[in-house]
Amino acid sequence: MISAKELKNPQVVRRDLLASIVVFLVALPLCVGVAVASGVPAELGLVTGIVGGLVVGLMPGSKLQVSGPAAGLTVLVYEAVKEFGLGTLGPIVLAAGLLQVVLGAARFGRWFRAISVSVVQGMLAGIGLVIVLGQLYALADTEQPGSGLSNLAGLPGLAVEIATDGEALTAFGLGAGTIAVLLVWPKLPAAVRVVPAPLAAVGLATAAAYLAGLRPLVADVNGLLHAIELPGGAEFGRLAEVAVIGTVLAFALIASAESLFSAAAIDRMHDGPRTDYDKELVAQGVGNTICGALGALPMTAVIVRSAANVQAGATTALSRVAHGMWLLLFAALLPAAIGIIPLAALAGILVHAGCKLVPAREFGPLWREHRGEAVLLAVTALAIVVTNLFEGVVLGLLLAVVKSAWETSHVQLSTHQLTGGRVVVTLTGNATFLRLPRILEQLEKLPQDQAMELDLSGLRHLDHACRVALENWARRHNDAETDPVTIRR
């Protein structure tokens, strides 16, 4: 929310309006690029960015976080459009938004922070790999085969096509040049870096194509009003399908997790008010509900735009609201400008963004210090590439639960002999079925011709499977000439 007191301060207004221009320049190529990569009209990416600024920007939650279409949902949107059609995308996004509102109102926002960081990093890494594998084909103005594995298998053929086809080589050169600018730009003088790297890269690629007389593929632009198609009753009827329901859950889960993890990261970058996670989740849900009603892309809070907002000196929500206004003015007054941007340049933007989602530098230290977490990250990422986003994330969450259960179910078994020869076997810790084979293996090694007592009073937790197994062992262990094992609880 923007307070009247903040708007009365001319220094705050001037600083935040300048920051909003920086965010707009960062958001513009990303909104268009994400839309094209998702298989929808480029204008729909701008619609989501506009809603993220003008609607979500005015809502409570996080003052400095900027919302819009994100590379993290590109894969899921592409799969949904391919399977269910563009018309069904709106109802899916709307239903996911309503679910987010319900979760936020029920104060579930804080619980998203309980999701394993390794699963989230693995999810983002898997998304990044799928984006890179798909957009490598777009770099050469070539249609991608389809799934992550198909795209991977087709890379040798893509390399041959680039080497032998002049048009593919030209497009690839533009895309590779875009990536090169993105890599070099942060190392240039501060005066040059006033222009955001994505805008500079796209602008230079577009200028190079025009000056060289090249004719690469460009986005098909029909204007904002022509791109918006309100969903009808038939499309909403598909929400009853099991596959569509699964997609809605995936949208809501991933968009919420990405937004709230982004909020946590942005909170560490400034000294202002902290994010209210439940209110932020409601705000994201309202934004997605409106985007769905307009048939546009889903939104999340985007770390790149949010970080640019903070680094540009923004201190209030005015900057993110104003960035939505700049997007609206651009979409209304200069839509044709989108139609001159080479698709290969937009693909270069997304290849760079996808690579940044893969935590290559962090993986080595994580492997050395927390090997289990590193395995969890890698398995989640690879599962997304091999299967799909939803199944990969579910597998990662299940593995995280199993890993946590295994690590917390520590149990120790000790024995000591009392005067008179009686042996006391003591179990301490948490006895669960996960540790049952090890417990029974140790118990069965004990002698069968001595009086024994099984002391369970030191256990913090004893599940049903362990209790039954221990009672059976106590009843059967000793031979016929020795008293049965007694149990102390």
Q: Helix/strand/coil (H, E, C) string of the chain? A: CCCHHHHCCHHHHHHHHHHHHHHHHHHHHHHHHHHHHCCCCHHHHHHHHHHHHHCHHHCCCCCCCCEECCHHHHHHHHHHHHHHCHHHHHHHHHHHHHHHHHHHHCCCHHHHHHCCHHHHHHHHHHHHHHHHHHHHHHHCCCCCCCCHHHHHHCHHHHHHHHHHCHHHHHHHHHHHHHHHHHHHHHHCCCCHHHCCHHHHHHHHHHHHHHHCCCCCCECCCCCHHHHCCCCCHHHHHHHHCHHHHHHHHHHHHHHHHHHHHHHHHHHCCCCCCCCCHHHHHHHHHHHHHHHHHCCCCCCEECHHHHHHHHHCCCCCCHHHHHHHHHHHHHHHHCHHHHHHCEHHHHHHHHHHHHHHHCCHHHHHHHHHHCHHHHHHHHHHHHHHHHCCHHHHHHHHHHHHHHHHHHHHCCEEEEEEECCCCCEEEEEEEEECHHHHHHHHHHHCCCCCCCCEEEEEEEEEEECHHHHHHHHHHHHHCCCCCCCCCEEEC
Query: Half-sphere exposure (CA, 13 Å, Cβ side) for 67?
Result: 38
Question: Residue 88 has what pLDDT?
Answer: 92
Q: Is the pLDDT confidence value at 485 over 80?
A: no
Average pLDDT over residues 85-97: 93
Q: Which of 310, 308, 269, 315 has the alpha carbon at shortest distance from 14? A: 315
Say how far apart CA 354 and CA 456 lie, in whole Å.
Answer: 52
Q: From CA 349, how far away is CA 192, in angstroms rounded?
A: 19
Grade residue 95 by pLDDT with cuts at 50, 70 and 90: very high
Average pLDDT for the chain: 84
pLDDT tens-digit readout, 403-439: 877 777 778 888 888 877 788 888 888 888 878 888 8
Mean pLDDT (whole number) for 77-82: 89
In the predicted model, is pLDDT for residue 328 greater than 70?
Answer: yes
Q: CA-to-CA distance for 76 and 178, rounded, in angstroms?
A: 25
| 461 DSSP β-pair partners | 430
Alpha-carbon distance of 105 to 250, in angstroms, equals 19
Q: What digits encode the pLDDT tens for the residues 360-412?
A: 888 888 888 888 888 888 898 888 888 777 778 788 888 888 887 777 777 88
Q: Tell me the two tokens of residue 487.
A: 């149990």
For the record, the structure tokens of 462 come out as 């004893």
pLDDT category at 290 given cuts 50, 70, 90 is very high
The whole-number average pLDDT for the span 469-477 is 84
Looking at residue 357, its pLDDT comes to 78
Q: Select the more confidently predicted residue: 364 or 111.
A: 364
Q: In the block, which residue shows the tokens 């500079």? A: 200
pLDDT at 98 exceeding the cut of 90: yes
Poorest-confidence range of 28-37, 200-209, 257-266?
A: 257-266
Q: How big is the chain by its Cα radius of gyration, in Å?
A: 28
Among 10-14, 405-409, 467-471, the range of highest mean pLDDT: 467-471
pLDDT for 182 beyond 80 = yes
Crossing angle of the two packed helices 360-369 and 371-386, in degrees rounded to 10: 140
**What's the confidence (pLDDT) of residue 96?**
95
Cβ atoms of residues 459 and 429 within 8 Å: yes
Quote the CA–CA distance of 159 and 231 in Å, as a whole number.
Answer: 40
Evaluated on CA atoms 263, 265, 271, 274, the torsion sign reads positive
pLDDT > 90? residue 137: no
**Ramachandran quadrant class, 297 (left: phi over 0; alpha: psi -120 to 50; beta: rest):** beta
Average pLDDT over residues 325-354: 84
Q: Is the pLDDT of residue 6 over 70?
A: no
Amino acid at 216: P
The percent of residues above 70 in pLDDT, for the chain, comes to 95
Mean pLDDT of 132-139: 85
Q: How many CB atoms lie within 10 A of CB 59?
A: 18
Query: At 120, which amino acid appears?
Result: V
Return d(Cα 244, Cα 471) in angstroms, integer: 48
Return the pLDDT at 92.
95
Please report the pLDDT score of residue 226 as a whole number: 78
Cα distances (Å, whole numbers) of residue 150 to 70, 144, 155, 386 = 24, 8, 9, 9
Q: What tokens appear for 75 in the block?
A: 């894969």
Greatest pairwise CA separation for the chain in angstroms: 100
Q: Taking the model in full, what pTM does it have?
A: 0.72
User: In the predicted model, is pLDDT for residue 265 greater than 80?
Assistant: no
Work out the pLDDT band at 102, boundaries 50, 70, 90.
very high
Question: At which residue do the structure tokens 């709307």 appear?
Answer: 94
For the chain, give the percent of residues with pLDDT over 90.
Answer: 15
